[in-house]
Amino acid sequence: MNEHDSERIASLLVKDGYSQTDDVEQADVVVLNTCCIRENADTKLYGNLGHLKAVKDRNQDLQIVVAGCLAQKDRDEIAKRASWVDVVVGTHNVSRVPALLEDSRNYGTIVEILEESAIDDELFSLTATRANLPFSAFVTVQVGCDNNCAFCIVPAVRGREVSRKFGDIVAEVERLAQEGVTEVTLLGQNVNSYGRDLAIEARRSGEYDRFTLGDRYVVDSAHSLRPLFSELLREVSAIEGIERVRFTSPHPKDIRPETIAAMAEVRQVMNQLHFPLQAGSDRILAMMHRGYTAERYLAKLAAARQAIPDLAVTTDIIVGFPSETEEDFEATLEVAAAACFDSAFTFIYSPRPGTEASLMVDHFIDPEVIQRRFDALKVVVEHSALLKHQERIGRVEMVLVEGPSKKQEGVFSARTSQNKLVHFARPKSGSQVRLAAGSYALVEITSATPHFLRGDLVDVVAPPRHRRKIDVAVG
């Protein structure tokens, strides 16, 4: 979500006449778009701001913007600790960045934080592809979150859950497809619940508008107060030119059979599910307010795997939640092993001010104990990941080519339908095969590690469709 906000801020500034640069010494504006999920974000922000002070001392015209979740949380604290910052803007009004930059030139430091989440029509009217992957795009379907997980600061900085109108999302994906984008990732703090608020408002008003709710819901005479995410998956997948549809993040307690059915039945919806576990202990899950037990989680996972052939499953797990005992942690290891995840994002618990868990100071776990548990969990999840990846050896996978590898010369990187990273040798010089970022290709998997696959190129199936930017010299 933050990465996509950064893309949109960049698009707004380009629209306002700026061009992007990677050289901070040449920049007129530097934007730090922040996250505050974990504690080290604060340290990184003020470290970067300290570096930028020296840059600004050399270039008094440089303007510095701090945006995003940490700006929403810390507000005036940022301007107090770093007086050389020109604009502080929160999560609900990033489309105001160009205007606030102009105001700051006249009035000095500007701090503008809105309290309520809302759909920013100006921001979402822009189509923004991913900076290094112009054939792929993030598409926000909702902002905010109505859950109350004890460890999570997102509701405080992103606000209540608000869904975009169905037709607006479809129109954005259509514009992206016209630009040659073939892969979209639908984004929300809890995509499973997309559209529930729209359905509730329609029931309240008695107005069932097709643009707001989508055709499938409007023609359903039941008009139940349910999410519209499965309908959205089907509608977006039907747009000409869209070959791959992904989504993140779902919440296990809210995933519904119709969403699993859409994944199983629609070719364009990829066979990949991010399914955050967080903990395997029922006691800890209850303290976290996750809304499911370990048994219920595994049952939903089993149902999804039964319905969707060759499903890849990734997860999030927190180690060291306040009061976590050895028995609680052993339960997490058991569930992680039983789930046999394709990969896992593992985190050491980080107390965030304003969350319920941050007040459980008397029950914080010793850092050395947490590190030992973290290392043990890593062994389990990497073992499962290696097993899952070794199962791919010998298969021919359809991949979306991302471009030359960042670390290995002469190697291309690509993603399978399961979102697994694959490295393979680029065609030899003089070969008739033409391969570029955005191409679809067939690759035979030859070896595996816990984190990526290796393979051999079999064939190029389709060339890129996205428009390429060409540098034009003017003189």
Q: Is residue 154 one of the residues assigned to a domain?
A: yes
- Is 107 in the same domain as 145? no
Rounded distance between C-alpha atoms, residue 388 and residue 344, angstroms: 12
Q: What is the pLDDT of residue 250?
A: 87
- Is 101 in the same domain as 149? no
How would residue 434 be classed by pLDDT, with cut points 50, 70 and 90?
Answer: confident
Nearest to residue 250, comparing CAs of 225, 229, 271? 229
Task: Please say whether the dihedral angle defined by the alpha carbons of residues 55, 56, 58 and 59, taken in this order, is positive or negative.
Answer: positive
- Is 200 in the same domain as 239? yes
* pLDDT, averaged across the chain: 91
Q: What is the pLDDT of residue 121?
A: 67
- Is 105 in the same domain as 127? no
Of 342, 363, 389, which closes a domain? 389
Q: Is residue 163 one of the residues assigned to a domain?
A: yes
pLDDT at residue 474 above 70? no
Q: Is residue 474 one of the residues assigned to a domain?
A: no
- Is 380 in the same domain as 457? no
Q: What is the average per-residue pLDDT within 186-199?
A: 94
Could you give the count of Cα atoms lying within 13 Å of 330 in the half-sphere of its Cβ?
3
- Is 408 in the same domain as 380? no
How would residue 471 be classed by pLDDT, with cut points 50, 70 and 90?
Answer: very low
- Is 225 in the same domain as 347? yes
> What range defines the domain where residue 261 resides?
121-389
Q: Which helix (H) or strand (E) holds 289?
A: none
Q: Supply the CATH number for residue 357's domain.
A: 3.80.30.20
Of 335, 358, 389, which closes a domain? 389
Rounded distance between C-alpha atoms, residue 388 and residue 420, angstroms: 11
Q: What is the average per-residue pLDDT within 63-77?
A: 91
Sheet architecture: strand order including 110-112: 29-34, 63-68, 87-89, 110-112
Per-residue pLDDT tens digits for 136-177: 999 999 988 999 999 998 888 888 999 999 999 999 999 999
Sheet architecture: strand order including 244-248: 136-140, 183-187, 244-248
Q: Supply the CATH number for residue 420's domain.
A: 2.40.50.140
Of 52, 81, 112, which closes a domain? 112
Q: Is 87 in contact with 34 (CB distance < 8 Å)?
A: no
Among 106-115, 358-367, 411-420, which stretch is predicted with the lowest mean pLDDT? 106-115
Whether omega for the bond prior to residue 249 falls within 30 degrees of 0, making it cis, is yes
DSSP state of 469: P
**Separation in Å, CA 3 to CA 35, 252, 355, 474:** 10, 23, 23, 32
For the entire predicted model, the pTM comes to 0.90
pLDDT at residue 426 above 90? no
What type of residue sits at position 271? N
